[in-house]
Structure 1
Amino acid sequence: MSFNMTGALLSGGENTRFPYPKGLIKIGGTTIMGKTLRLFNNCFTEVLLSTNAPEIYFSIAPLFEHKPVALIGDVYDIRGPMTGIFSCLLNSSCDKMFVAACDMPFVEKEAVELLVCFANDNPDYDAIVPVHKGVPEPLFAIYNKSVLPVMERALKDGRKSMKFLLKEINTKYIDEAEFTAINSRSFININTLENLKEIEDSH
């Protein structure tokens, strides 16, 4: 099923705790980024990749048989995920955009579809953000173009915290209880080499 929505993958920042970009980590023989982008290609009418180093990801291009993946650089020289989300949303051809981080190896189609359903059922909200273990997940969420002015002001004022942004806009929080056990795997992310080893050992 293809939704009339943009899918945007954030390639991450400096990866100071990793020797290479986390999106290129292989789980089960496939890079995290390649797996998620293939899923987005099947789910959304448009797919964007937020990156300031496009040369790193050219090798992934052959994965996309159906749609091209546009590589979007930051429009402001301000580090952080909000800049990547803002830049992609600004370039999106759709009013709504599904965002995921590149270090989430188990993004499930069911979780994506469920979040899209919440967005369709709540069209007046600026953002649809799931809550996992009591904490909002702004990097696995849906944003409306209506947030662009608020994001831009926040970035220009040096307030690049996603937590701050969610308080400034009309955010619909989705309680963890509304996701099934398999959907909750989508929130697993890799922050350190130790995290990666734990995941590799469990597979």
Structure 2
Amino acid sequence: MNGLILSGGQSSRMGREKRLIQYHGKTQEEYLFELLSLYCEKVFVSLNTNQQSDYPYIYDAFHELNSPLVGILSAFQHEPKQAWLVVACDMPFVNQETIQFLIEARDISQKATAFQNPEELFPEPLITIYEPSIYPDLLQAYQQGRKSAMRVLSQQPIKLINAPDPQMLKSINTPAEYEEAIKRK
């Protein structure tokens, strides 16, 4: 299984690259790279073509779509036979417990193993293990102009699990949310 740090978004609401924000005394990119390296054969950072990284990276290959689906598809294009443990760079509360819980719950007979978002009760696509069998479904969604990885997950046989702590799944997207997250650390 490979790891993928989703970092190719525009960060327009935050006003700066979310992967470079520090929550743990290091950038999110560095923190998540080190964390995923404990569990994955290889770890990559998903980047848009305007970004650079000192870590192994995969540039987004599907430019027409502004969606996390682009990074996931690009990872599968890079290594289609590998499972991908995907984590978004804007989730500062993801820790070893989160990753360990997800991996222990993994069901390779399903197309993915995902946490259920506790607020909206849908599969949380931004911290999920995607099995190689889901790649054709993701590609078909892209080809049909659908950009929601969550919708693809909702329409596939996946294993859905509850997070031991819903806070683990919180995304930080604005300066106000960042300030609030720093207070909780």
TM-score (norm 1): 0.82
Structure 1 residue 9 corresponds to structure 2 residue 5? yes
Give the aligned partner of residue 125 of structure 1.
110
Q: Which one has a larger percent helix, Structure 1 or Structure 2?
A: 1
Larger Rg: 1
Structure 2 residue matching 1:147: 3-state secondary structure = helix
- How far apart are the structure 2 equivalents of 1:140 and 1:146? 17
One-letter amino acid of the counterpart of residue 197, structure 1: E
- How far apart are the structure 1 equivalents of 2:24 and 2:110? 37
Where in structure 1 are there 5+ consecutive unaligned residues? 62-68
Give the aligned partner of residue 166 of structure 1.
153
The answer (yes or no) to whether the contact 2:114–2:124 under 8 Å persists in 1 is: yes
Structure 1 residue matching 2:178: 3-state secondary structure = helix
Structure 1 position 201, deviation (Å): 2.6
Structure 1 residue matching 2:38: 3-state secondary structure = helix
Structure 1 residue 150 corresponds to structure 2 residue 137? yes
Q: Deviations over 1:80-121 (max 9, x none)?
A: 1111101112223753110000101121112111211211xx
The answer (yes or no) to whether the contact 1:108–1:185 under 8 Å persists in 2 is: no
Q: Deviations over 1:21-49 (max 9, x none)?
A: 00111114211111011111122111111
One-letter amino acid of the counterpart of residue 73, structure 1: Y
Give the aligned partner of residue 65 of structure 1.
none
One-letter amino acid of the counterpart of residue 127, structure 1: A
**RMSD across aligned C-alpha pairs, in angstroms?**
1.8
Structure 1 residue 116 corresponds to structure 2 residue 98? no
Number of aligned residue pairs = 182
Give the aligned partner of residue 62 of structure 2.
76
The answer (yes or no) to whether the contact 2:49–2:60 under 8 Å persists in 1 is: no
Change (3 A) 1:202 1:111: closer
Structure 2 residue matching 1:26: 3-state secondary structure = coil
One-letter amino acid of the counterpart of residue 109, structure 2: D
Decide which moves more: 86-95 or 110-119: 86-95
Structure 1 residue 36 corresponds to structure 2 residue 32? yes
Q: Deviations over 1:149-171 (max 9, x none)?
A: 11111111101112321133222
Structure 1 residue matching 2:181: 3-state secondary structure = helix
Structure 2 residue matching 1:151: 3-state secondary structure = helix
The answer (yes or no) to whether the contact 2:8–2:60 under 8 Å persists in 1 is: no
Q: Which runs of 4+ in 1 moved over 4 A?
A: none
